[in-house]
Amino acid sequence: MRDATVTVGPKSQVVIPKNVRIIADKIKPGRKVSVRALSKSSVIIEARPASWAKETYGMHKDIWKGVNAVSFINLLRQEWKQKLNQ
């Protein structure tokens, strides 16, 4: 079961039910979360990464396989200079 009914407390606090926490396993005690209002009656709660560096480390590494990053950046800079000089 992915959803549950909770009661909003007097300080606008809610307890995330265990069955939801099991699925959303990154939401742990002490973890920072983002809360975003979608409308007057709905919100999204998302766990924030403890470390963005650790969370994104190695992302898209396959895209850069076999590419010399320094040469690629230099090529881009040359293209930018040409566009600026036009």
Helix, strand and coil percent figures for the chain, each rounded to 5: 35, 10, 55
Residue labelled with tokens 């396989």? 65
Tens of pLDDT, residues 17-33: 988 888 888 888 888 99
pTM over 0.75: no
Tens of pLDDT, residues 35-63: 999 999 999 999 888 888 988 898 888 88
